[in-house]
Amino acid sequence: MSKMVACVNITITTILLVLNFITLVHAAPKVPCYFIFGDSLLDNGNNNNLNTTAKANYPPYGIDFPNGPTGRFTNGRNMADILAELLGFDHYIPPFASASGGNILQGVNYASGSAGIRNETGSHLGNRISLDYQLQNHQVTISHLVDLIGNKDSANLHLNKCLYIVGIGSNDYINNYLMPKYYPTNHLYTPSQYASMLIEQYAQQLKTLYEDGARKIALFGLPRIGCIPQELQKHNTTTCVNSTNEAIQLFNEKLKSLVDELNTNFTKAKFTYINMYSISSIMGTLSFLNKPCCNISKTTAGGQCVPEKTPCLLRAVHVFWDNFHPTENANIIAIMRAYDAFLPSDTYPMDISHLITSVSSL
C-alpha cells in the first residue's frame, strides 16, 4: 500500500508541473470547439442570476481564481477549465448565461448547479437548469451557429469535430433519491430500479445530443458520494456510507454498459466513460485533511461556504472545498486522469486524449 501511495504522490507532483506548464504555453486547440453539460462540478456561472441557493458567486469561492468569485463551486478552476487548458484553448469556455457572438464557435458551458437527469432534481434549492433544458439551450446555440457559419450543413460539420463532456447524475442522488423529505423516489424505487430509470432517461438525452451533431462524447460517472463530507455528517460517521456508494455503483455500472450500447448503435460517434468512482477513491488517499476547506453554512440547505469567511490556508492538501465540491487540486488530479488515464480502470474504452482523435471528420 505504501508503494501505491508513493507512486500516486509522484504522479500528482508530475501532474501539477505539467499543468503549470500548460497554463503558460498556448498552442492551437486540439479540437475546434468544446461543449460542457452537467452540474455544479462543471458550472462556471450559469446559476449566478437564478433564484436558487445553489450558487457560488461570492467569497470565499474563487479565492484562487484570477477573476475571483465567478460562480465556480470551488476555490479556483473546475474540471471544465482545466480540460480547456489541456485541449489548448487560451480561454475558458463561457457559460451559456453570458456567451454571445463569435465566442460560441469554440463552445459553450451549459452546466448548472443542483441540476440532474430528472427535471425535478434540486427543486428544493430553487431554480436550476436540468439536462433537458441544457439540451434546449444547446439547440439555441446551434441556431446561432447556423447564422454565424452560413448554413445548417456547415454548422453540423463544425459540431461533429467538437468535444462534448457530460457530468450529471450526482444530484439525482444527493438532491433527490437521498432526500425522502422532499422527493418520493426513495419510496417508489429500489436502488436498482432508480438507477435503471435514470439511465433510460439519460440514454434518450444522449440520443438528442447525437442528433444535434455530437460525435465525440465523454460521459463522467459518479464519484464516491458516500464519502463526501455532507454524507458523513448526515450519517454521523467518519467512514464512507456503504449503502450510498453501493447505489452509486449501480448507476455507474449501467452507465458503462450504456456506453457500449451507444457505441454499437451510433457507429459514426464515439462515447467514452470516465470512471470518477475509481478516480475519487484514489484521491481519498492523498490528503490527511479530508474535510471541507471552508466554513460550512448551517443556515442554508446547500452545504456550501459561509460568505466572506476565510477558508483553510493549506488548500493544496484538501480534497474537499465545501461539503460537496472538490478543491482545485482535486479537480486537477481528476481531469488529468480523465484526459490521459493513469490506471486502466480510469476510462473506458479510451481516455479523452484518444477520444478527440478517434472520430474522423464527417
Residue 202 is assigned to a structural domain of this protein: yes
Instruction: Give the structural domain span for 219.
Output: 27-355
In a domain, 176, yes or no: yes
61 inside domain = yes
pLDDT confidence of residue 24: 42
What are the C-alpha distances in Å from 131 to residues 81, 85, 202?
Answer: 20, 25, 9
In a domain, residue 12? The reply is: no
- Which residue is it, cell 471544465? 80
The catalytic residues are 40, 322, 325
> Could you identify the residue written with the cell 478516480?
279
362 falls within a domain: no
Domain of 169, CATH number, reads 3.40.50.1110
Asked if residue 3 is part of any domain, the answer here is: no
pLDDT of residue 26 exceeding 60, the answer is no
Q: pLDDT at residue 40 above 50?
A: yes
Q: What single letter denotes the amino acid at residue 345? A: S
Can you give the pTM of this predicted structure? 0.93
| Dihedral angle of Cα 135, 79, 163, 87, to the nearest 10 degrees | 150
Residue 6 lies in a domain: no
Confidence of residue 297 (pLDDT cuts 50, 70, 90): confident
pLDDT over 80 at 23, yes or no: no
Instruction: Kindly give, in sequence order, each residue whose CB lies less than 8 Å from that of residue 101, ignoring residues fewer than 6 positions away.
Output: none
User: DSSP per residue over 103-127, as a string?
Assistant: GGGG--B---TT--SSTTTTGGGB-
Residue 317's pLDDT band (cuts 50, 70, 90): confident
Which tens digit of pLDDT belongs to each residue from 72-102?
999 999 999 999 999 999 999 999 999 999 9
pLDDT per position as a tens digit, 203-243: 999 999 999 999 999 999 999 999 999 999 999 998 999 99
For 318-332, the pLDDT digits (tens) are 999 999 999 999 999
How many structural domains comprise the chain?
1
**Residue 338 maps to a domain:** yes
CB 219 within 8 A of CB 274: yes
